[in-house]
């Protein structure tokens, strides 16, 4: 499944209070930017991630978020510094924007 217009509008609405939200399609998914700075990705399967490392990643982990992982060609598992947006924030733009702003501030 590739990201379509409905998913793009969803992330723009969800993060509207963060700043100027722009997107770029990539590998079936979507890169999400605020004021030109990437802070989130939407995978082709619809999973939304927030960029995080260090203390912010620890907070996301404590909130039940999962690290973005993928299988490498050699069979090993790789990861990126993106964590799932906590489930409660998917329906709460205020909470989603708090996570987004924390990501932008940390990165």
pLDDT band at 107 (very low <50, low <70, confident <90, very high): confident
Q: What is the mean pLDDT of the chain?
A: 94
Domains detected in the chain: 5-106 (3.30.1460.30)
Pairing status of strand 21-26 against strand 29-34: antiparallel
Residue 2: pLDDT over 90: no
**Tokens found for residue 4:** 């379509």
Residues in Cβ contact with 45 at an 8 Å cutoff, skipping those fewer than 6 apart: 1
Q: What share of the chain is helix, strand, coil (3-state, %, to 5)?
A: 40, 35, 30
Band (pLDDT 50/70/90 cuts) for residue 1 is low
pLDDT for residue 74: 94
What confidence tens digit (pLDDT) does each residue in 33-79 have?
999 999 999 998 899 999 999 999 999 999 999 999 988 999 999 99
Q: What pTM, to 2 d.p., does this model score?
A: 0.90
- What percentage of the chain carries pLDDT values higher than 70? 99
């Amino acid at each position: 499944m590739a990201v379509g217009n409905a998913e793009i509008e969803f992330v723009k609405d969800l993060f509207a209070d963060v700043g100027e939200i722009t997107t770029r399609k990539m590998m079936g998914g979507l890169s999400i930017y605020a004021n030109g700075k990437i802070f989130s990705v939407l995978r082709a399967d619809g999973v939304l991630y927030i960029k995080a490392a260090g203390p912010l990643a620890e907070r996301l982990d404590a909130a039940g978020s999962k690290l973005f992982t993928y299988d490498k060609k050699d069979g090993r598992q790789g990861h990126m510094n993106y964590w799932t947006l906590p489930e409660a924030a998917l329906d709460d733009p205020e909470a989603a924007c708090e996570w987004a702003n924390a990501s932008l501030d940390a990165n």
